[in-house]
Each structure stands twice: as C-alpha cells, then as structure tokens.
Amino acid sequence: MFSGTSLRHRTTIYAMTNKKALITGCSTGIGRATALELTKRGYDVVATARRLESLVDLKVAQTLALDVDSDASVTSALQEVGPVDVLVNNAGFGIEGAIEDVPLDDVRRAFETNFFGAARMVQAFLPAMRERGSGTIVNIASVAGIVAPPLGGYYAATKYALEALSESLSFEVGHFGVKVIVIEPGFIETKFSSNLADHRGGTGPYAPLATKWEGATTTLQGGQESPGPEIVALAIGDALALETPPLRIPVGSDAELIATTRAAMNDQDFEATMRQVLQFDW
C-alpha cells in the first residue's frame, strides 16, 4: 500500500517542476509542511490561510489570505493567483463529542470548511485545469472518512462527504486529464486542536466511552507517538510525482491498518472487531 510511513528520514534531490501549487490551511500542521515540501520539490507554492500574518515566516513563492468559507475570498484568490497545476484542499475544522451533545452550529461550521470549502475551491480552480487538459486536485480527508469513530461522528461525516465528492469527481474529470487524490491521514501530531470544537467533556453519560476510545487509540498507534505532519507532506509530494496515482492514500501505520482491516471485513465482523478494540462490555 502506498504510504509516506517509510519516508520520514531521507535525503532526496528533486528536479524543478515549474508547476504552481495552491494549498489551503497553511498556518500550521499538514498545510505548512506540505507548502515546505512542495517548495523543496520545485513547485511555485501559493500558501494560504485565513490570517495572512500566520504565514509571514513561510518561505514559499507567494502567501495569500484566503477563507475557504467565503465565496468572495475564493473568487478574489482565483483572480489574484490565476490557474494552478495543483490544488491541495487542506483547510479544516475539527469537532469532537457525542452526537447527542454537539451543538449543530458547530456541525454546520465543520461542514462549511471541510466539505463546502473544498467544493468551493474545486469549482473555482477546476475549470482552468479541465480546459488545459491537466492538473491535480488533492483533498485531505482522514481515516475518519473510512471508519467513523465514537465521539467523532460529525467530523467523520464531513470526511465521508469529502470522500464521496472526490470519488465522483475522479470519474467526472479523469478523461479531461485531471487527477484526483484523497489523502487519508491517521493520527498526526499537529496544532489542529487550535481549530477544534471539543465537546467531549470529562463527565456525563459518555465519559466511560471517551476513556475506552482513548485507550483504543493508543493501541492502534502501537504505543508510539503520532508522527508529525511531514509524513503527510511526503506522501502528497510522492503521489504528485506518480503518472497514475491511486485515488485513496492512507498515511500512517494506523491509517493503513484501519483501511486494510475495514476493506477485508464485512460490516458484522468489523463491528465485532471494533467492539473488541474498544473493550466494550455492553
């Protein structure tokens, strides 16, 4: 299975591409790491974020204030940047908590950024790719778009939606020479918590489940610390270098394990496995 897992420590000299890549959500984490990685590989990177000051120290070809939730902001970015060869939809909003507990306003906010934001960017930048007959759209989904974890249902729903959009889009635009790649990271050490609505709480009827899920995530990671965002950036760079990249690329050993396990099992067997991992006694 394709993965950046084994690529964390390497030195490689890359040929200059002379291609332009626009990346959303570059203030921290995966977006910032991807901006640096693609710059190293010779791309003219346009790194974007809601707050331009968060990009002041980022050494890329261009930085730009961009709010993917805003039609006007996306239109303005298109006018300023023009056509791109690569679009990386990374901007995201996290949300955790039981389905019963999470305010629906937070759910709408998550969908606005994670799903509609990506769709808005695709609608803006895809036409030039289609007309040119080349281009790549990279959507940053999640392993939560493969398996919806407890206390993460709403976030998973946004990523399931992005998976569906990406799959359909790949069928629509492949014959125009446009590639679509879905990156599915597992647990990654980022500052994503700064853009997270956390409604798990420490007490209440779902507290025991939260404790079990925390233990399960430790098991899935093999007791190791989560890798940094660089592993995702490497996977993106390597996928862009492929003539025919796969549609879906799980990144991280936990994501690979979850993806392969889910694909190999029917619903009943997978549910039983999840109950075992979670050590459910109910």
Q: How much of the chain exceeds pLDDT 70, in percent?
A: 88
pLDDT, residue 249, reads 98
pLDDT in tens, 127-146: 999 999 999 999 999 999 99
Q: How much of the chain exceeds pLDDT 90, in percent?
A: 73
Residue 203 above 60 pLDDT?
yes
| Average pLDDT of span 207-229 | 77
Give residue for tokens 């606005």.
112
| Average pLDDT of span 201-214 | 80
Amino acid at 65: A
- Top mean-pLDDT range of 6-20, 21-35, 178-192, 254-268: 21-35
Gap between the Cα atoms of 51 and 84, Å rounded: 22
Q: ∠ at Cα 127 (126, 131), nearest 5°?
A: 120
| Contact present, 93 and 195 (Cβ < 8 Å) | yes
Indicate if 155 belongs to the active site. Answer: yes
Which one of 14, 43, 154, 155 is the catalytic residue? 155
Gap between the Cα atoms of 155 and 171, Å rounded: 25
Kindly list the structural domains of the chain, giving each domain's residue range(s) and its CATH number in brackets, ordered by start. 16-203+226-259 (3.40.50.720)
Q: What is the DSSP letter of 183?
A: E
77's CB contacts (< 8 A; 6+ apart) are 22, 48, 64, 66, 124
pLDDT, residue 196, reads 62
pLDDT, residue 227, reads 86
Residue 221 above 80 pLDDT?
no
Residue 6 above 80 pLDDT?
no
Residue 7 above 50 pLDDT?
no
pLDDT, residue 193, reads 54
pLDDT in tens, 58-109: 999 999 999 999 999 999 999 999 999 999 999 999 999 999 999 999 999 9
Nearest to 235 by CA among 55, 90, 113, 66: 90
| Contact present, 5 and 250 (Cβ < 8 Å) | no
Strand partners, 205: none
pLDDT, residue 8, reads 41
| Contact present, 278 and 150 (Cβ < 8 Å) | yes
DSSP-derived 3-state class of residue 57: coil
